[in-house]
Structure 1
């Protein structure tokens, strides 16, 4: 049995460990992180060349099932996986950690995109686009790939990412290179040390980066949360690596598009 796992998330690595060596596992990493944490089993790095390239790879390497364990915001990869699995007639499962849920005392402002998040900053009272000196210090934890959405914002930004981002980015930016998991004490200290006024994050879910939300709630800091895109229609979802492993070990049902079972 050969299972292709898409993604280098914590859940993807846990799933590869759970399946290997009983199942042949190939983990496909996007290659956007310079020094990724490698999972158990075989590893390939880089894109497939779109839907057709993924279909060809699945067929050439006799893949029996595909598990999309990419980041919850890797929308294009998830769409390509759904199209490719349907075309190649192999089962597809999406492994998605549950999203975060606001707790009592949270001041969340949920938006649909990074562009809406940038616009929300001015609505919260920090910065003025009409020429007056902007104020406000923003802790931006949305990753290094989407900074262009904030390039014209007048606020000061602390950007935390695993690897150094490239322009375009806000004019007033300090880069903090770090990799989770993060501790609550560490996040409390960071908010105080940088005098943060507002936190911007994606609803990535999971425990590794959640302490910043607790620290923001304790400090009374508003949080702009970008909602995650939906899983492609018709694709079954597992919330944990254990559920995904059970799907493999027990015998899966294929995508509703094919109607076959193993």
Structure 2
């Protein structure tokens, strides 16, 4: 019951608080004009193959919600949008579902609506390899996001504060499961040092989820009725910076 209440509060406060206050800094980027492009727009192809599935556009709906029956229709509608537009979808954290069976329908509905499409599972980096595989099996998932959310957990009253051993556990999950593993942040970004560390350990797929969008530390503070300081409210690596770090750090064949 506590987990279901928390998931509903996440949706409530995400809508109430909006994005930020940190900026993604994507607006700071400018395209350089090429006066001699030598291209034909008719030759452009926007479809792309990712994780063995062909997408009409190089987009997917990233992890949003789940773990309570009350959000089943939200995920159903999101999956319907993904199916109609030819893009993929990742579900919210399945940790509760694989631990105690809560809200399983809020996840399985995604595969029901996106029968042949790209569906990505989602599990905590604290999960066991067996729980990670159960999350994959629940969705017949094409890949699994393993999320890192240290900042959120610190501000969550019931959060897991001890992050010792996460990298070793990530590696155990990756080596045990049947689909590719994507290392995912949850709104605070991935910096060059962590890309390098993860790359050294054999990880090749990342979802940087940088600062500037949904702010989970702010949401958790709101749940407790407290205000974040200005520094913590803007905590994280902006999405633009995280992507630039990835470009400089990762090989071209890495999935980002």
Give the TM-score normalised by structure 1: 0.31
Of the two, which has the highest radius of gyration? 1
Give the TM-score normalised by structure 2: 0.31
Higher helix share: 2
